[in-house]
Amino acid sequence: MAPLPLCLLPLVVATGFGHAYEAPEAQVRVFYPRGFEVSIPDAEGISLFAFHGKLNEEFDGLEAGQWSRDIPKAKRGRWTFRDHRTQLNYGDTLYFWTFVVNNGLGYRQDEGAHVVTSYDNQHI
C-alpha cells in the first residue's frame, strides 16, 4: 500500500475521528386551554438554547419571530422555552427555528414546523 500524501492527512484525521455536531431536533408540546413549550435534551457541552417562533406564518429567512428568547440553562434535563399565554387551536402551525451553543460554537435547526393535532395534557 502506497503511503498517504501529507496534504491528505488532515482530511483523513478530520473525517475519521470527528463528526459534525447537529442541533438536536426540538420537541414541541401544546397544552389546553393555552400554552406550549419547545425543548431539546440537555447534553454535555451545551451552554445556550434559543427559540424563535411564529404562529401560522412561515419565516422569511432568520427573522426573530413572534417569540424570540434565549434560554441560559437547562432544567430537569431539558432546555425549554415556555409560553403560558398563547392559545393554539387544532390546525394551527407553529413555525420555528432554534439555535444551540455547543462547546462554544453555534448550530441551528431551521425550518421547524409543528401542526397542532392534539394537546399534551388532554387525553380523549
3 or 8, which is more confident? 3
Q: Which domain holds residue 95?
A: 27-116
Is the separation of the CB atoms in 68 and 62 below 8 Å?
Answer: no
25-40 pLDDT per residue, tens: 999 999 999 999 999 9
Residue 122: inside a domain: no
Residue 12: inside a domain: no
Residue 13: inside a domain: no
3 or 95, which is more confident? 95
21 or 7, which is more confident? 21
In terms of phi and psi (left: phi > 0; alpha: psi -120 to 50; beta: otherwise), the region of 56 is left
Query: Judging by beta carbons within 10 Å of its beta carbon (0-12, 13-18, 19+), is residue 36 exposed, middle or buried?
Result: buried
Is the separation of the CB atoms in 22 and 14 below 8 Å?
Answer: no
Which CATH number goes with the domain that contains 66?
2.60.40.2140
User: Quick count: other Cβ atoms within 10 Å of Cβ 76?
Assistant: 7
Residue 15: inside a domain: no
**Residues near 81 by beta carbon (within 8 Å), at least 6 away in sequence:** 37, 38, 39, 49, 51, 53, 67, 69, 71
| Number of structural domains found in the chain | 1
How far is 94 from 57, CA to CA, in rounded Å? Answer: 8
- Cis? peptide before 72, omega within 30° of 0: no
Average pLDDT, the chain: 88
Residue 63: inside a domain: yes
37-47 pLDDT per residue, tens: 999 999 999 99
pTM: 0.81
| Chain centroid offset of residue 63 CA | 15
Residue 43: inside a domain: yes
Residue 38: inside a domain: yes
pLDDT of residue 43: 97
Residue 44: inside a domain: yes
